[in-house]
Amino acid sequence: MLDVAERELVTVTGERIPVPDPESLVHLNFRRFAGCPICNLHLRSIASRHEEITAAGIREVVFFHSPAAELRAYDLPFAVIADPTKRYYREFGVESSRRALLHPRTLGAILRGSALTLLGKYRPPAARQQGGRLGLPADFLIAPGGRVLAAKYGKHAYDQWSVDELLSHARAAVT
């Protein structure tokens, strides 16, 4: 696996996040855009189990290729990084694909997420997405020293670690 060089990320609220974190594992979670119905479903599962993730010694850091102004409207319990130029997406090799939305699991997530958006449970996305709508997710678990302990590059738009998979990777890293 590769190592991640030390850096300081600035969240949409202005908090400065060291990566790697000197005391915690870091889960870098690359998503698509603010209001993405698929991302909303996944992030709801992370938000609902955020205390459990934190208790496992993991700091959650989520990237979106949306501007900070769009992301500030969301009330999420973890660090959110705006990367509208996709600088970090390129650095970590996170890609887009025309086939991102065509997988059956993706179609189900689109329908569920869109229904919840229409019902007012989620904020709708902006009509135009600066970074496009065809992004793929990616997950990286990084040790305090910067070593990437586990990584997943999604093959479709709803192909990411579940919270249980994240916790499993963290347990394996500790043992």
Band (126; pLDDT cuts 50, 70, 90): low
Phi, psi of 64 (to 5 degrees): -130, 150
Q: Cα–Cα distance between 144 and 156 in angstroms, integer?
A: 29
CATH architecture of 7-174: 3-Layer(aba) Sandwich (3.40)
| Confidence band of 110 (pLDDT split at 50, 70, 90) | low
Residue 9: strand pairing partners: 17
CB count in 10 Å sphere of residue 109: 23
Segment 63-92 shows an average pLDDT of: 92
Cis peptide before 20 (omega within 30 of 0): yes
- Mean pLDDT, range 20-46, rounded to an integer: 87
Residue type, 127: A
Local confidence band at 158 (pLDDT 50, 70, 90 cut-offs): confident
CB count within 10 Å of CB 145 equals 10
What are the structure tokens assigned to 171, written together? 């347990």
Whether 81 shows a pLDDT value over 70: the answer reads: yes
1-30 burial by CB neighbour count: b if 16+ within 10 A, else e?
Answer: eeebeeeebebbeeeebebbbeebbbbbbb
Stretch 148-172: mean pLDDT, rounded? 93
In whole angstroms, what is the distance from residue 65 CA to residue 85 CA?
7
Between β-strands 79-82 and 58-64, what pairing exists: parallel, antiparallel or unpaired? parallel
Query: Which whole-number Å values give the CA distances from 112 to 36, 61, 68, 73, 137, in the listed order?
Result: 12, 24, 26, 21, 18
Q: Which residues pair with 64 in a beta bridge?
A: 82
Average pLDDT over residues 13-31: 96
pLDDT at 30: 96
The Cα–Cα gap between 109 and 42 comes to: 9
pLDDT tier at 1 (50, 70, 90 boundaries)?
Answer: low
